[in-house]
């Protein structure tokens, strides 16, 4: 019973652990567990011994929050997230005119916006059903940010960030696709090389929900599919990395992850929401809210509420490049 309590408590971010302890939940045993776990979480020294988990099979980067991925074979890992050249993970987001971010939870067909990046010209191309191709000069945005610091204010999960607006032509394209009118939405670009938000400290990343990296175990979705009538793929859960080799849900117990020579620290479990009910191939939400409904039957962490967990959020501790086929290790 105590081990189960520790396991559940371990999944809670440090700030919430402190609140639980302060509230007196769990008595002496929980306080002892909290002290031990806090010490472990604060230890950012990578281990010397590693165990092989499997190999990296897929790398995904989502340049625009809530939109489709760019599938890559090689990627650079920096503190703000994975990327190639000027294309980084979740450095763009759609907002309303007031600067509040818009996601596929509200507009499911956002997932059908397909990005393509041309590194030599630092250009992001976007395609969407029924829309002309859109061209975004990321290089020009980066140059603007150097000479004209970002001053537009936007809000991501209650935290303010400064961003660059991508202009009226881009705004019209998104408004027409998502709202069927010429105005209402804007596209904003995050040009900074550091995180302005403190949701998960320096690991919060750019415009991410939680942290700048998320890893997913292929076997976990295979096990989930055994419970579902309509099968899903790892892409339904929008990971950056997919690993093949570990047993289902083995990632729940990892404290450290190494891919090639790049090292990550486990931060928090990835809690799942209605986004998982949206089919990335059709942009339509499942009428019975699957696979979320099934996940809630066996993947909830009581200390964290009703949202089920699948996948793990990571914080970068040793930067570098990784590629598909790299060995994945854990500690």
Query: Both 111 and 35 in a single domain?
Result: no
The string of DSSP letters for 210-264 reads: S-SEEEEEHHHHHHHHTT-SS---GGGG--SEEEESSPTTGGGG-SEEEETTEEE
Q: How many CB atoms lie within 10 A of CB 35?
A: 12
Binning pLDDT at 50, 70 and 90, where does residue 150 land? low
Are 79 and 202 spatial neighbours (Cβ–Cβ below 8 Å)?
Answer: yes
For residue 167, tell me if it sits in a domain. yes
* Cα distance between residue 54 and residue 200, in whole Å: 27
Given the structure tokens 């700030």, which residue do they identify? 15
Residues 113 and 37 in one domain: no
Give the length of the chain. Answer: 331
Instruction: Evaluate whether 89 touches 212 at the Cβ level (below 8 Å).
Output: yes
Residue 171 confidence (pLDDT) above 80: yes
Last residue of a domain, one of 160, 178, 202: 202
For 18, the domain range is 1-43
What percent of the chain clears pLDDT 90, i.e. is strictly above it?
A: 73
Total domains in the fold of the chain: 2
Q: Is 40 left (phi over 0), alpha (psi -120 to 50) or beta?
A: alpha
Question: pLDDT tens for residues 186-239?
Answer: 999 999 877 766 665 778 888 998 899 999 999 999 999 999 999 999 999 999
Q: Do both 149 and 94 map to the same domain?
A: yes
pLDDT at 27 over 50: no
23 and 95 in a single domain? The answer is no
Q: Which of 168, 202, 236 is the last residue of a domain?
A: 202
| Whole-number pLDDT of residue 30 | 45
298 within some domain:
no
245 located within any domain: no
Q: Are residues 109 and 184 in the same domain?
A: yes
96 shares its domain with 194: yes
23, part of any domain = yes
Task: Give the confidence band of 21 by pLDDT, cuts at 50, 70, 90.
Answer: very low
In a domain, 135, yes or no: yes
Residue 50 has pLDDT above 50, yes or no: yes
Rounded percentage of the chain residues whose pLDDT exceeds 70: 85
- pTM value is 0.86
**What is the β-pairing status of strands 92-96 and 262-271?**
unpaired
C-beta separation of 295 from 241 below 8 A: no
* Domain boundary pick from 202, 223, 256: 202
Which range is least confidently modeled, 146-150, 227-231, 310-314? 146-150
* Average pLDDT value over all residues in the chain: 88
Query: Is 152 part of any domain?
Result: yes
**Confidence category of residue 142, pLDDT binned at 50, 70, 90:** very high
Is the pLDDT score of 29 beyond 70?
no
pLDDT value of residue 241: 99
CA distance 132 to 329: 43
Average pLDDT over residues 288-314: 97
- Token pair belonging to 265: 């620290």
Is 65 part of any domain? no
Residue 2 has φ and ψ, to the nearest 5°, of: -65, -40
Dump pLDDT digits (tens) for 35-47: 545 555 557 899 9
Residue predicted with more confidence, 44 or 173: 173
Is 104 within a domain?
Answer: yes
Worst-scoring range by mean pLDDT, 2-11, 96-105, 175-184, 196-205?
Answer: 2-11
What is the crossing angle of helices 14-22 and 27-42, to 10°?
160
């Amino acid at each position: 019973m105590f081990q189960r309590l520790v396991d559940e408590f371990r999944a809670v971010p440090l700030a919430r652990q402190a609140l639980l302890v302060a509230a007196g939940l769990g008595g002496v045993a929980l306080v002892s567990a909290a002290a031990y776990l806090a010490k472990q979480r604060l230890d950012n020294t990578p281990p010397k011994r590693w165990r092989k988990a499997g190999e990296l099979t897929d790398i995904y980067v989502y340049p625009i929050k809530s939109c489709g991925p760019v599938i890559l074979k090689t990627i650079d890992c920096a503190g703000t997230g994975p990327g190639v050249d000027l294309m980084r993970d979740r450095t763009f987001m759609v907002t309303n005119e007031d600067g509040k971010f818009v996601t596929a939870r509200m507009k499911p067909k956002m997932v059908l916006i397909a990005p393509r990046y041309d590194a030599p010209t630092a250009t992001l191309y976007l395609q969407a059903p029924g829309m002309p191709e859109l061209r975004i000069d990321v290089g020009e945005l980066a140059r603007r940010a150097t000479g004209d610091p970002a001053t537009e204010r936007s809000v991501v999960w209650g935290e303010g960030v400064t961003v660059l607006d991508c202009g009226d032509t881009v705004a019209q394209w998104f408004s027409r696709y998502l709202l069927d009118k010429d105005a209402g939405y804007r596209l904003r670009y995050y040009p900074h090389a550091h995180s302005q938000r403190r949701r998960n400290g320096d690991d919060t990343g750019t415009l991410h929900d939680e942290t700048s990296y998320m890893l997913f175990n292929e076997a976990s979705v295979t096990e989930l599919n055994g419970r579902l009538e309509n099968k899903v793929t790892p892409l339904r859960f929008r990971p950056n990395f997919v690993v093949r080799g570990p047993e289902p849900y083995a990632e729940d117990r990892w404290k450290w992850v190494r891919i090639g020579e790049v090292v990550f620290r486990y931060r928090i479990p990835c809690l799942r929401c209605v986004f998982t009910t949206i089919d990335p191939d059709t942009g339509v939400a499942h009428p019975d809210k699957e696979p979320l409904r099934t996940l809630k039957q066996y993947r909830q962490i009581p200390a964290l509420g009703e949202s089920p967990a699948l996948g793990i959020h990571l914080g970068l501790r040793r930067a570098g490049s990784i590629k598909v086929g790299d060995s994945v290790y854990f500690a």
